[in-house]
Amino acid sequence: MAAPLDLTRLTAAQLTAALATGEVSAQEAVDHVLAVTDRENPRLGAFLSVAPELARQRAAALDERFAQDGPTGRLHGLPTAFKDLTDVAGMRTTFGSRIAQDAEPADQDDALAATVHGAGAVSVGKTNVPEFGLPCHTENLIAPPTRNPLDPARTAGGSSGGAASAVASGMLPAAPGNDGGGSVRIPAAACGLVGVKPGRNVVPADRQGAQMTAQLGGPEVGSVRNLTCSGPLARTVADAGLLLDAMMGAPWSGPGDRGPMQTAAERADAGQLTVGVSTVSPFAPDLEITLAPAALQAVTAAGAALARGGHEVAELGVRYGADYHAMFRTVWTSGLSRVPLPEEAVPLLGPLAQHFMELIQGYSETQVDDAVSGLEAWAAEARRQLGAADVVLTPVLAFAPPKIGAFTSLQPAEDYELQCRFTPYTSMVNVMGLPAVSVPVLRDAEGLSWSVQLIGREGSEVQLMALAGQLERLLSGQG
């Protein structure tokens, strides 16, 4: 008689394969995840809320359907969780803010949650987020801070910090996030995970949301003001590809059918590519950007590995235009103006959100329009320069994830400046609207992970996943 599977050792792809054949039931997978969460969440603060009864009910329903019709989709029975910025039916959405912490549970899933649940996934709760998903650290006023499983004294990053902490600690096999300035790639890099940001509006739910916003008088679908993209956080590139296929609604014909992103990650040949290496940040010279030695070592190691894999790797000369820092801050903070806040709610906001609200009140319509048009021109020129290579290789983080409280102990303006110096290569990709993948490369003497970012051309998601998968294999000695 075969020994039962050890669920703690399975990748998300392996777990979905076991779920699809009935070797593991949805209820068994959910019970396992809930048990790990009970053990790990009190020390890491990855979840804002856990919904065990809802999760068990959905798992039982999936097992009943499986007995009659087989697996229900690509992610049949896979436990996961959405950030507490995303509506999930039956769960409260707090946005990490005191103004919504007593909100009623959502009546229905938002578009992304509906897509992922439609692929068979089971949500077990809502992961922790900073207020409104604004900072790149996950500390708010309604819950304990999210801690990094590699060093619980340090931040897990943000705004998908709760998701990253949950995946890196084994509470979840993989998790969806969203990324408006690095919110998937930053916590992925901080916690030693793979994080994917597709191109602007490539994920159907993102495109649908942008179209609805435009119809209501918001920014146009292709505007640089539409910075946020949905993407996965996972322990391997293949797992990220699996979840990304589900998020994109890729057709599924049954067990063994891998989608284009997972297929690319697992075995596709990216071809011989030109890889341009750059450590230039658009935040300089407005901000002093200083890279830790390990950040540079990760770039060197990744470049050497890709060269061994047959790619042409060379330094890419990039000269970013002036004023990126000021233009991005204006566009980034002005997004908060689309949040309907009654005046009496403003004092309930945390210091950073209040600071952003004060900045917004000082903007004229002309200032915002000028920042948007300036950033559009900046993005066009930056895309042209980066387009000299098939893929651009950069660091993700400039230095190690700071200790809990390092950001929030500062005045809000200094907090935001430290965030920009910590993450000097991520927001520019959102502005350009390009796809990017954060891939872990090495661990330092303290056990912290250091990653690189692979930036692709528009529409190159499949190629980028193939290259990320190849890099992962080369670094492990399998490529």
pLDDT in tens, 129-179: 999 999 999 999 999 999 999 999 999 999 999 999 999 999 999 999 999
CB 165 within 8 A of CB 67: no
DSSP three-state, residue 15: helix
CB 197 within 8 A of CB 448: no
pLDDT in tens, 16-72: 999 999 999 999 999 999 999 999 999 999 999 999 999 999 999 999 999 999 999
- The b-or-e profile of 99-117 (16+ CB within 10 A means b, else e) is bbbeeeebeebbbbbebbb
pLDDT of residue 3: 52
> Of the listed 83, 123, 126, 449, which one is catalytic?
83
The tokens describing 310, both together, are 């047959």
Q: What is the full DSSP assignment across 16-71?
A: HHHHHHTSS-HHHHHHHHHHHHHHHHHHH--EEEE-HHHHHHHHHHHHHHHHHH--
Residue 455 carries which DSSP code? E
159 is catalytic: yes
CB 230 within 8 A of CB 203: yes
Closest of 149, 195, 130 to residue 426, by C-alpha? 195
Q: Extract the runs of DSSP E, i.e. beta strands, from 128-213.
A: 147-148, 151-155, 174-179, 194-197
pLDDT of residue 4: 65
Q: Categorize the per-residue pLDDT at 343 as very low, low, confident or very high, splitting at 50, 70 and 90.
A: confident
Separation of CA 42 from chain center = 23
Domains and CATH numbers, the chain: 7-475 (3.90.1300.10)
DSSP three-state, residue 275: strand
> Of the listed 97, 160, 165, 183, which one is catalytic?
183
List the strands of the sheet with 274-277, edge to edge.
174-179, 229-234, 194-197, 436-443, 449-456, 391-395, 274-277, 312-315
Q: Categorize the per-residue pLDDT at 93 as very low, low, confident or very high, splitting at 50, 70 and 90.
A: very high
- The b-or-e profile of 179-208 (16+ CB within 10 A means b, else e) is bbbbbbbbbbbbbbbbbbbbbbbbbebbee
The tokens describing 156, both together, are 């897990």
Half-sphere exposure of 418 (CA within 13 A, CB side): 20
pLDDT of residue 21: 96
183 is catalytic: yes
pLDDT in tens, 275-333: 999 999 999 999 999 999 999 999 999 999 999 999 999 999 999 988 999 999 999 99
Distance separating alpha carbons of residues 156 and 138, to the nearest angstrom: 7
- The b-or-e profile of 381-414 (16+ CB within 10 A means b, else e) is ebeebbeebbbbbbbbbbebbbebebbbebebee
Among 16-25, 43-52, 189-198, 216-225, the range scoring the smallest mean pLDDT is 216-225
Tell me the average pLDDT across 462-473: 98
pLDDT of residue 218: 82
pLDDT in tens, 398-448: 999 999 999 999 999 999 999 999 999 999 999 999 999 999 999 999 999
Among 182-196, 282-296, 335-349, the range scoring the smallest mean pLDDT is 335-349
The tokens describing 36, both together, are 């790990």
> Of the listed 25, 97, 159, 460, which one is catalytic?
159
- 315 - beta bridge partners? 277
CB neighbours of residue 314 within 10 Å: 13
Residue 401 carries which DSSP code? P
Closest of 454, 177, 137 to residue 316, by C-alpha? 454
